[in-house]
Amino acid sequence: MGFEIARRMGLEGACLAIIDIDEAALSNALQTLSADGIDVKSYHLDVTNPEEVAKTFALLIEHFSGKLDILVNNAGIADFGSVDNTESAAWDKVIAVNLTGTYLCSKSAIPAMKKAGGTIINFGSVAGLVGIPNMAAYCASKAAVIGLTKQMAVDYISQGIRVNCICPGMIADTDMGRQILGTDLSDEASKKRLSKYPIGRFGTPEEIASAVLFLASDEAGFVCGSAFTVDGGMTAL
């Protein structure tokens, strides 16, 4: 999803800074986006490391002459387990990436945004709105991101910074989607999963990118503090 969001933003004329902990994926994204004529710079980063986040954002903001208009916080991982069988280390890692990473990147971006306004788009999930079996840490982290989004929205809207979050349903063609779907590939499990989506299918990275593009645009000027579900009707059931 991150790559498709970056690609769509770049094709709309954005100057991009892309960030990833996976150096190989980062290099491939940089080459592909550059080949499409997109102005892009890449930064290797662990979003759970406060010092690295502060240093990296200082560098990228300097590269863009002190200006930062849009931040998309979509670094995320999943883990499987209920509360009684989730190890503390696994719990801490999911919270660190999904929630603390969102906090740290936002903390480093907001001072630049205060100068001329901007928009922050966090990534929640339908798992932050409804219970998903066997995903205690993930559900907790995404519910917290939704709460943080609403809190940030009311803190910063008076300074011209809109904060919203996207809550995707199942996006099959992603590493996380394949990880979740791969836990059980039986026909019965597939039918059960699809039955939760009134639209009759899972989503695509392109559809999530379109939602991000809307929230980042002037057309979403009155949208602030929303948990914007893009889920094929899953949370409407």
Which are the catalytic amino acids? 138
Q: Which long-range contacts (CB under 8 A, 24 or more apart) does 171-180 make?
A: 171/1, 171/202, 171/203, 171/204, 171/205, 171/208, 172/202, 172/203, 172/204, 173/204, 173/205, 174/1, 174/205, 176/76, 176/77, 176/78, 177/202, 179/78, 180/78
- Residue 135's beta-bridge partner residues? 81
How would you label 13-44 residue by residue, b for 16+ Cβ within 10 Å and e otherwise?
ebebbbbbbeeeebeebbeebeeeebebebbe
Residues 6 or more apart whose Cβ sits within 8 Å of residue 6: 16, 18, 29, 33, 38, 40
The one-letter code for the residue type at 117 is: G
Token digits for 54? 């502060």
List the Cα angle 71/98/163 in 5-degree steps. 35
What angle in degrees, to the nearest 10, is found between the helix axes of 88-95 and 136-156?
Answer: 30
